[in-house]
Structure 1
Amino acid sequence: MTPPPVIAPGSLAARPQPALPCDDLLLRPWEAGDAPAFLSAYQDETIRRWHTRRPSCEADALEWFDTYRRDWATERGGHWAVEGVTGEVLGRIALRGWDFDDGLADVAYWVVPAARRRGVAARGGPGLSPPGPGRGGFHRLALDHSTHNHASCRVALKSGYDLEGTKRSAAVHDDGRHDMHLHARIREV
């Protein structure tokens, strides 16, 4: 007998992608008006260093937003803008690679330069983490980052993602292959 899926298919896409309040931040779906801020973020040297897939113009950003909406509708992922109290985009948080059978997803994030060292990723990330409101029933959330990305490692640890190990030569960045730290957070049952 096959066990039932951890998350019932259709249970997330049956409702609109939620906006998730997280302390003084709001995680909300990306909107067309965010394209300039999104594109600007990918001009930042640090974001470019760790994210090799990048939009090159506002039309690309809008295409990505369309893909993000389709990801939600097809239950493949959720992508949120991290909005500050004055409505500015401070970063990005995403849950990707949804596996409803086993209740798994991967977390990704970045923060714009002006919002760094203010805990934006660590405060925004828990909104997607067990037992946060955005978890949608996921049992395990994982994230990985280059072993050279010490800031991302601090965010993961502050957000309750235990370091599980190193994936050797697991990602390609502009300067070549990188080993990646693997972190995960498990929903307590």
Structure 2
Amino acid sequence: MPFKISDIVAAGTLARRPQPTLAVAGGGLVVRPWAVEDAPAVYEAFQDPEIQRWHARVADSESEVRGWMEGWRKAWADERDAYWAVADAGTDEVLGRVALRCIVLGDGQAEVAYWTMPSARGLGIAPRAVTALSDWAFDEVGLHRLELTHSTANEASCRVALKTGFAVEGTKRSALLHEDGWHDMHLHARIRDDGPAALV
């Protein structure tokens, strides 16, 4: 029996092309695919208590991180997830990460995730990277809806979501287990028809 509704984005849309470098408004940043040379920076990031607080995963070695990176490349090829480094455009120093997780091309949906290095916080890097990623996902890939979730205790992440046009849709009660117990999660979303985000 045929489906009455076509896929929003066709299978193969990501896998048939190399992972791109994304344009970031205002200059100074580049959102690019990860390179093996970035492993020390990712290892360093995952030693940070703030990143450890909001992630279930820890990095025990740079070798382990290189294994993650191989998984990230495979996730792009499998069209499941897409991970980018956020770097200084002049020095190529890693400043953070931005990602699309839980991609479902047929439904036109994915989840946005991000973190920043301790030295890069408070500089507007995460909002600019999230905006670049969202614009690309809507305009180039053709996704319809992007979700963003964070612990209700993570006020910094909430500020990034709101600055980048992700409206609060509700609270998912006791939705994710962190090291200190179950957390309620804010659910934010942007849809393609919302138009471009105006950073505030």
* Superposition TM-score tier, normalisation by shorter sequence: over 0.9
Q: Which residue of 1 aligns with 2:197?
A: none
Structure 1 runs of 4+ aligned residues shifted over 4 Å read: none
How many residues are matched?
187
Superposition map of 1:21-60 within 5 A = 21-23=23-25, 24=27, 25-60=29-64
Q: Which moved more, 1:23-32 or 1:152-161?
A: 23-32
Identity of aligned residues (%): 52
The structure with the greater share of residues assigned to helix is 2
Q: Structure 2: 5+ residue runs without aligned partners? A: 195-200
Tell me if 1:158 matches 2:163. yes
Q: TM-score when scaled to structure 1? A: 0.96
- Kindly provide the amino acid, as one letter, of the partner of residue 79 in structure 2: E
Question: What is residue 174 of structure 2 aligned with on the other side?
Answer: 169
| Matched AA of 1:4 | S
Distance 1:156 1:54 in 2: 24
Structure 2 partner of 1:133: 136
CA distance in 1, matches of 2:167, 2:133: 16
Q: Structure 1: any 5+ residue segments left out of the alignment? A: none
Decide which of 3, 6, 9 is 2:8's aligned counterpart. Answer: 6
> Are 2:82 and 1:68 aligned?
no
8 A Cα contact 1:79 1:92, kept in partner: yes
CA displacement, residues 78-109 of structure 1 (integer Å, 9 cap, x when unaligned) = 10000113211000000011111210001110
Distance in 2 (CA, whole Å) between partners of 1:61 and 1:104 is 27
Contact 1:20 1:134 in 2 (8 A): no
Aligned mates of 2:23, 2:64 — CA distance in 1? 28
AA partner of residue 101 (structure 2): R
Amino acid at match of 1:71: A
Aligned counterparts, 1:85-104, within 5 A: 85=89, 86-104=91-109
1:84 aligns with 2:88: yes
Letter in 2 for 1:22: V
Letter in 2 for 1:112: M
Once residues 58 and 191 of structure 2 are traced to their aligned partners in structure 1, the CA distance between those partners, rounded to angstroms, is: 30
Provide, for residues 52-81 of structure 1, a one-character-per-residue CA deviation record: whole Å limited to 9, x for no partner.
212211111011100100011011111000
- Where 1:98 maps in the other structure, the secondary structure is strand
What SS does the corresponding residue of 2:72 show, helix, strand or coil?
Answer: helix
TM-score normalized with structure 2 length: 0.91
